Amino acid sequence: MMRHRTRLLALAAFAAVAGCRWIPLSNDPTTPGRDTSPPAIYAVDWWVPLVAPRLWEYAPREPAAPAIDPDTQRVVVATRDGVVRALSPLDGRVEWEFKTSGGFSAGPLVREGVVYVPGGDGALYALKAATGDQLWRYASGEELGTTPVFASGKLLVASNTDTLYAVDAASGKWSWQYRRDAPSGFTIRGAAAPKVDSGVAFVGFSDGYLVALEVADGAMKWERALGGSAKQFLDVDSTPVLDEAGRVYVASYQQGVYALSPETGEIDWHSPKVGVTGLAIRGEVLYAMGDSQLAALHSRDGRALWSLDLHGRAARLPAFARGMLVVPVGGALLFVDPSTGRAQTAFDPGKGVTATPAKAAPRLYVLSNLGYLYAMRLVGSGG
């Protein structure tokens, strides 16, 4: 693996052609056009192209969410060209680069001066946050599909082929793994990240099961079938969320949203919303997103509060910022009032946004599907 401290000449030329003096707010940044006035919700402080366009690339996607170094506020981005980059929050200058041999399905974790990167090449990398130098590399042999979760000195990361790996965070050595056999029918590409609470990791799999595992050794505490009797798309690919009382919420693509006991896996309530692939929670409101839909449910009983029809777009995990729900919906970044479900405005930098924005108040860092990073400053009130 090679690390580069300067941008490729091709990217430099690309940036010059793009013309960084013009701040695009609703247009493709590679196409000159009329600059539009920024809406009252956001303004773009700077933007920078990271990935050079490829010949015959029809529908580029950047699914890996950016991460923020809490010590320096650097923005760490993993893109479809297999490169990890750390950028200055002041102006987007690339401070270091690290090259891998595959694109990324999920973004990095930055913790205590180390960047942990789940590689599409099957390796989990630990890099120095200050320089990008490699500390260790664990080769799983499977495409890794989730941002690593730190728990009890271990990193938990799931592959896109139904294996959860536990790796020692200090040394990169294997601790344990848990695998489930894939179902015989079609499945949804991707994986659910584990949610850890009180030494237990809750994680869903493509065979329709939610499983509770002991973080210490990977021993199964309980399992619960949630996929129903369908022959395909049984996936429980939503990362579980917990409320303040510790209750676990998870979504089955076929069967909808479930609330379960963290101790036994017993089902508390069930809302039959087909096509949900992600969940987020804020207070007593549970937000469900997926195929053509964004909805809010009451966490106590699953009662529907509102829903927003996305007209064929697929919503992904949102960011909460300045009192807004900021939702990638493939073709754009949608700003939604979380209390009413009304869309306030949208941001489409060209080819849309797939990755969840990274929040570092008062900014969101948005990675577009074209491989541009935007420093978006939010205005207004809220957290």
Task: Write the CATH number for 240.
Answer: 2.40.128.630
Q: What mean pLDDT is reported for the chain? A: 88
Q: What is the pLDDT of residue 31?
A: 52
The Cα diameter of the chain in Å comes to 59
| Residue 337 forms part of a structural domain | no
| Residue 6 forms part of a structural domain | no
Alpha-carbon torsion (281, 285, 290, 292), positive or negative: negative
Residue 34 confidence class, pLDDT cut points 50, 70, 90: very low
Neighbours of 312 (CB within 10 A): 10
Burial 138-169 (b: 16+ CB within 10 A, else e): bebebbbbbbbbebeebbbbbbbbbbbbbbeb
Q: What is the pLDDT of residue 8?
A: 38
Find all residues with CB under 8 Å of 263, minimum gap 6, and list them.
none
Q: What is the pLDDT of residue 245?
A: 85
Q: What is the pLDDT of residue 312?
A: 85
Amino acid of residue 113: G
Residue 16 confidence class, pLDDT cut points 50, 70, 90: very low
Q: What is the pLDDT of residue 382?
A: 55
Helix (H, G, I), strand (E, B) or coil at 353: coil
Total domains, the chain = 1
| Residue 218 forms part of a structural domain | yes
Q: What is the pLDDT of residue 383?
A: 57
Residue of 249, 157, 240 lying closest to 204 (CA atoms)? 240
| Residue 23 forms part of a structural domain | no
Q: What is the pLDDT of residue 232?
A: 73
Whether pLDDT at 350 is above 90: no
| Residue 235 forms part of a structural domain | yes
Which segment of 98-107, 129-138, 346-355 scores lowest on mean pLDDT? 346-355
CA–CA distances in Å: residue 323 to residues 25, 73, 196, 304, 374:
21, 22, 27, 20, 20
| Residue 325 tokens, joined | 């729900």
Q: What is the pLDDT of residue 30?
A: 46
Pairing, β 333-336 against β 324-328: antiparallel
Kindly compute the dihedral angle of the four CA atoms of residues 255, 205, 126, 115, in this order, to the nearest 10 degrees.
10
Decide: pTM greater than 0.85.
Answer: yes
Residue of 349, 277, 372, 285 lying closest to 320 (CA atoms)? 285
| Residue 381 forms part of a structural domain | no
| Residue 34 tokens, joined | 């009329």
Amino acid of residue 234: L
Find all residues with CB under 8 Å of 303, minimum gap 6, and list them.
297
φ and ψ at residue 340, rounded to 5 degrees? -120, -20
| Residue 271 forms part of a structural domain | yes
Mean pLDDT, range 267-292, rounded to an integer: 93
Find all residues with CB under 8 Å of 51, minimum gap 6, and list them.
11, 60, 62, 79, 80, 81, 83, 370, 371
Alpha-carbon torsion (337, 338, 341, 343), positive or negative: positive
In angstroms, what is the C-alpha Rg of the chain? 20
CA–CA distances in Å: residue 162 to residues 61, 190, 201, 227:
22, 9, 15, 15
Q: What is the pLDDT of residues 37-64, one digit of tens each?
A: 455 788 899 999 999 888 787 889 999 9
Q: What is the pLDDT of residue 349?
A: 87
Mean pLDDT, range 335-364, rounded to an integer: 92
Mean pLDDT, range 333-355, rounded to an integer: 91
Domain, as residue range, for 256 = 180-316
Percent of the chain with pLDDT over 70: 89
Which segment of 11-15, 81-85, 348-352 scores lowest on mean pLDDT? 11-15
Mean pLDDT, range 4-31, rounded to an integer: 42
Q: What is the pLDDT of residues 64-88, one digit of tens each?
A: 999 999 999 999 999 999 999 999 9
φ and ψ at residue 258, rounded to 5 degrees? -125, 145
| Residue 275 forms part of a structural domain | yes
